[in-house]
């Protein structure tokens, strides 16, 4: 799922807000971390008990909010695919996914049946299918899934996957940059287990609140050198911003074993010793990738 809003939506202020407890541990003990967005209406707080950063109050997760937050994810197909062929950016992303799928295969131990939750345009499904996986995807957006089927010819279903009857089990379930958009991540995390084949693998990717990049930007803001009202990487549809410290114990508490954990960049796939140090040892890259088994 993409993570930036268009210019016109950057001034969006939701009509209804709600006070919420921490969505990981239920605690109401927290402190204000940062205000941002139009009129500084968006507040990130940090849970005093589990360290999760989340929006509080947050926009009420109603039809009006969901439509405004998600009707903008439509223009990206032309970035990837034009006149029946991959664009340069499409090729870059294709190669990136090929490497990711190789990594996934090494964790899963085989190529097999794959389910992607939050499949957006289905581009990952396309690469997976063309590299030998049997791939199915689900996304809440009718526009995205229709484009995925028509442009990329992938098996993309539309709907709330909690309500769909999917034909499991799957050897690999992939959920990338989607969990932080929903108000009930625990329901999803529990349900993934029901669709996994024996010894199957769940791969979850989320932004990393504790990345070097974010720490640096926050530090700049504190000094007053950076006064921006809005940052592309923080959108009203990110209801929480996990980090390893908050997310790893949460996943374990819901019965998952972490069999692989790394950070990563969406631009380049890790290769050299510097990237290895940053992503595998220190884990301070912009995004987190968990491999999990039951």
Selected from 13, 16, 27, 253, the binder of Zn ion by CB under 5 A is: 27
Q: How far is the CB of 26 from Zn ion (least distance, A)?
A: 7
Contact 266, 228 (CB under 8 A): no
Q: How far is the CB of 249 from Zn ion (least distance, A)?
A: 10
Q: How far is the CB of 65 from Zn ion (least distance, A)?
A: 23
Alpha carbon distance 133, 173 (integer Å): 12
Q: Which is nearer to Zn ion, 12 or 240 (CB)?
A: 240
Q: Is 239 in the site for Zn ion (CB under 5 A)?
A: no
Q: Which is nearer to Zn ion, 123 or 290 (CB)?
A: 290
Residues that bind Zn ion (rule: CB under 5 A) add up to a total of 8
Q: How far is the CB of 22 from Zn ion (least distance, A)?
A: 3
Stretch that binds Zn ion, among 14-22, 88-96, 97-105, 185-193 (CB under 5 A): 14-22
Q: Which is nearer to Zn ion, 116 or 180 (CB)?
A: 180
**Residues in 191-230 at the binding interface with Zn ion, rule: CB under 5 A:** none
Alpha carbon distance 160, 182 (integer Å): 11
Q: Which is nearer to Zn ion, 245 or 276 (CB)?
A: 245
**Residues in 41-60 at the binding interface with Zn ion, rule: CB under 5 A:** 47, 49-50, 52
**Residues in 249-268 at the binding interface with Zn ion, rule: CB under 5 A:** none
Alpha carbon distance 16, 20 (integer Å): 13
Kindly state the DSSP code that residue 234 receives in the 8-state scheme: -
Alpha carbon distance 102, 119 (integer Å): 19
Kindly state the DSSP code that residue 84 receives in the 8-state scheme: T
Determine phi and psi for 106, rounding to 5 degrees: -70, -30
Contact 114, 106 (CB under 8 A): no
Alpha carbon distance 194, 223 (integer Å): 48
Q: How far is the CB of 32 from Zn ion (least distance, A)?
A: 15
Determine phi and psi for 217, rounding to 5 degrees: -65, -40
What does the binding site for Zn ion look like in residue numbers (CB under 5 A)?
22, 24-25, 27, 47, 49-50, 52
């Amino acid at each position: 799922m993409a993570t930036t809003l268009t210019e016109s939506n950057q001034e969006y202020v939701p009509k209804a807000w709600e006070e919420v407890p921490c969505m990981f541990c239920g605690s109401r003990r927290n402190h204000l971390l940062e205000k941002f967005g139009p009129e500084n209406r968006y507040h990130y707080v940090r849970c005093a008990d589990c360290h999760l950063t989340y929006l509080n109050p947050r926009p009420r997760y109603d039809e009006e909010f969901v439509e405004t937050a998600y009707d903008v994810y439509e223009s990206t197909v032309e970035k990837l695919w034009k006149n029946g062929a991959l664009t340069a950016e499409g090729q870059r992303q294709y190669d990136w996914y090929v490497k990711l799928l190789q990594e996934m295969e090494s964790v899963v131990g085989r190529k097999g049946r794959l389910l992607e939750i939050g499949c957006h345009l289905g581009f990952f499904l396309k690469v997976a299918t063309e590299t030998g996986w049997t791939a199915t995807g689900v996304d809440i957006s009718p526009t995205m899934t229709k484009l995925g089927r028509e442009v990329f010819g992938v098996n993309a279903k539309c709907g709330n996957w909690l309500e769909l009857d999917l034909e499991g089990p799957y050897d690999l379930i992939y959920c990338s940059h989607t969990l932080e958009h929903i108000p009930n991540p625990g329901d999803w995390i529990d349900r993934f287990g029901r669709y996994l084949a024996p010894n199957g693998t769940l791969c979850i990717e989320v932004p990393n609140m504790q990345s070097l990049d974010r720490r640096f930007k926050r530090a700049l803001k504190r000094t007053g050198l950076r006064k921006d009202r809005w940052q592309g990487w923080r959108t009203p549809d990110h209801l929480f911003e996990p980090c390893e410290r908050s997310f790893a114990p949460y996943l374990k508490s819901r019965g998952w074993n972490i069999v692989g954990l790394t950070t990563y960049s969406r631009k380049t796939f890790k290769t050299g010793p510097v990237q290895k140090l940053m992503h595998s040892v220190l884990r301070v890259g912009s995004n987190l990738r968990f491999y999990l088994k039951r």
